[in-house]
Amino acid sequence: MSLTLERPVVGERRAETVSAVRRHGAVLFIYSLVVILLIAASAVSSDFRQPSNLIDVLRQSIVLGLVTIGQTYVLLAGGIDMSVGMTSRVVALGTAVAMSHTLIHPYVLILLGLIGGGLIGFLNGRLITGLGAAPFIVTLGMMGALAGTALAISGGGPTDAVPDFFLAAYDASMGPIPVAVLVMAVIWLVAWFVLSRTRFGRNIYAVGGSTAVARLAAIDVRRTQTSTYVIAGVLSAAAGLFLLARSGVGDPSLGGNLEFQSIVAAAIGGISLYGGRGSLVGSLGAVLLVSLSSNVMNMLHVSAYYQDLALGVIVLLGVAVYRPRRSM
Residues 95-134, mask of contacts with another protein (x by CB under 8 A):
--------------------------------x---xxxx
> How big is the site for another protein, counted in residues (CB under 8 A)?
78
**Whole-Å CA distances, 137 to 71, 133, 141, 282, 322:** 16, 8, 6, 26, 25
Q: How far is the CB of 153 from another protein (least distance, A)?
A: 8
Q: How far is the CB of 78 from another protein (least distance, A)?
A: 12
Phi/psi at 180 (5° precision) = -55, -40
Crossing angle (nearest 10°) for helices 280-299 and 25-44: 20
Q: How far is the CB of 162 from another protein (least distance, A)?
A: 22
If one asks whether residue 164 binds another protein (CB under 8 A), the answer comes out as no
Residues 68, 278 contacting (CB under 8 angstroms): no
Q: How far is the CB of 52 from another protein (least distance, A)?
A: 29
| Interacting residue with another protein among 116, 121, 270, 276 (CB under 8 A) | 276
**Which residues in 307-326 contact another protein (CB under 8 A)?**
307-313, 315-316, 319-320, 322, 324-325
| Interacting residue with another protein among 35, 179, 274, 300 (CB under 8 A) | 274
d(CA 276, CA 120): 24
Q: Which of 177, 226, 217 is nearest to 59 (CA)?
A: 177
Q: Which of 113, 93, 101 is nearest to 244 (CA)?
A: 93
Q: How far is the CB of 317 from another protein (least distance, A)?
A: 9
Q: Which of 7, 10, 24, 12 is nearest to 325 (CA)?
A: 24
Q: Bridge partners of 168?
A: none
Segment (H or E) for 253: none
Q: How far is the CB of 7 from another protein (least distance, A)?
A: 7
**Which residues in 188-227 contact another protein (CB under 8 A)?**
193, 197-199, 201-203, 205-206, 209-210, 212-214, 216-219
**Which residues in 18-47 contact another protein (CB under 8 A)?**
19, 23
If one asks whether residue 277 binds another protein (CB under 8 A), the answer comes out as yes
Q: Which stretch in 31-39, 40-48, 175-183, 300-308 sits in contact with another protein by CB under 8 A?
A: 300-308
For the chain, first and last CA: distance in Å? 32
Q: Which of 162, 172, 178 is nearest to 107 (CA)?
A: 162
If one asks whether residue 168 binds another protein (CB under 8 A), the answer comes out as no
Q: Which stretch in 29-37, 102-110, 222-230, 273-281 sits in contact with another protein by CB under 8 A?
A: 273-281
Residues 230-269, mask of contacts with another protein (x by CB under 8 A):
------------------------------x--xx--x--
3-state secondary structure 54-89: HHHHHHHCHHHHHHHHHHHHHHHCCCCCCCHHHHHH
Q: Which is nearer to another protein, 111 or 319 (CB)?
A: 319
d(CA 43, CA 48): 9
| Interacting residue with another protein among 21, 39, 105, 136 (CB under 8 A) | 136
| Interacting residue with another protein among 25, 106, 141, 158 (CB under 8 A) | 141
Residue type, 27: V
Q: Which is nearer to another protein, 116 or 178 (CB)?
A: 116
Residues 63, 214 contacting (CB under 8 angstroms): no
d(CA 88, CA 192): 22
**Which residues in 54-93 contact another protein (CB under 8 A)?**
80
